[in-house]
Amino acid sequence: MCLLISVPLLIIGWLAFFLNDAEPGKPSFSLAGFNELLSPLRLTEIMKIAGRALTVCFFATTVSFFISYLLMLKTSKAFQFAFFVLITLPFLANESVRVFSWQYVLSENGLFNQILSSISGRHVTLFDGSNNMNVYIVMIITCIPFGVFINSASLGTIPPIYWKASNDLNLSSISAFFKVALPLSKVALVTSVIVIFFISFSLSAEANFLGGDSKISIRNLVLSLMSASKFQAIFFLGFIIMSALTFFALIYKLATRNRISI
């Protein structure tokens, strides 16, 4: 397993730090990719993408955990199965189809604004394409299912004796949530945050088709670097992402093996 993880990391690390076309047969060490990503323009783009991903992972993890708690403790197995199937179905559709569907729903004359206008009795344009609110909304909705799967799996492993004890103590659902579900799901919550962060970090179609003037995304960043022939910067960006994923995967493995308190 370690070999499978290390080989791609070593390859992309080599491509990120060594130039093979400087002189045939004599690759040279270079920090050109590092310097490019630290330039003010690129750093601003990356920080904006990372900040958006942090916001999305916080809200998506919070909402998904509440959904998982209600789903696992308040519904039947048949309902849970149907729910998991329903939240999986959208991922079977093409990404462009999903995003364009949301674009129709969240446009100025879209479904949500029509519903709000019908309720209020006047024309409402809460959702439009002039800002990035639509991007955040769709990204959060897109990422919630990942958190639901992770947190539901964690809640499903909690021994029934804990829930029986909470019932014997006449704990309310809110008290059981904070005293049983939350403390015993710390690893799952951290895992959900990490997974959703990297998923939202890589999402680009939403920013391209749903946002306002700013179209900053990983896809556009990479395309911009490619058009400028900054291939080493692309490999260095990939090296950073793969290194972070490897680091968190190792931490998760240690946490689950040695029961580290997070």
pLDDT one-digit tens code per residue, 127-150: 777 778 888 988 999 999 999 999
> Which structural domain, as residue segments, surrounds residue 216?
48-230
pLDDT digits (tens, 9 = 90+) for 21-48: 555 556 777 777 888 888 888 888 899 9
In this structure, is residue 249 part of a structural domain? no
Number of folded domains that form the chain: 1
Task: Provide the CATH number for the domain around residue 203.
Answer: 1.10.3720.10
In this structure, is residue 163 part of a structural domain? yes
pLDDT, residue 23, reads: 57
pLDDT digits (tens, 9 = 90+) for 90-126: 888 778 788 888 888 888 878 888 888 888 888 878 7
pLDDT at 1 over 60: no
Top pLDDT among 69 and 229 is at 69
Token output for 18: 């060594």
In this structure, is residue 183 part of a structural domain? yes
pLDDT, residue 125, reads: 80
pLDDT at 56 over 90: yes
pTM of the model: 0.81
In this structure, is residue 103 part of a structural domain? yes
261: confidence class by pLDDT, cuts 50, 70, 90: very low
pLDDT, residue 262, reads: 43
In this structure, is residue 9 part of a structural domain? no
Token output for 170: 């006449």
In this structure, is residue 89 part of a structural domain? yes
In this structure, is residue 64 part of a structural domain? yes
In this structure, is residue 2 part of a structural domain? no
Alpha helices in 157-217 (DSSP H): 160-168, 173-176, 186-202, 205-210
pLDDT, residue 147, reads: 95
Helix (H, G, I), strand (E, B) or coil at 195: helix
pLDDT at 255 over 80: no
Alpha helices in 75-156 (DSSP H): 77-88, 95-105, 111-120, 133-156
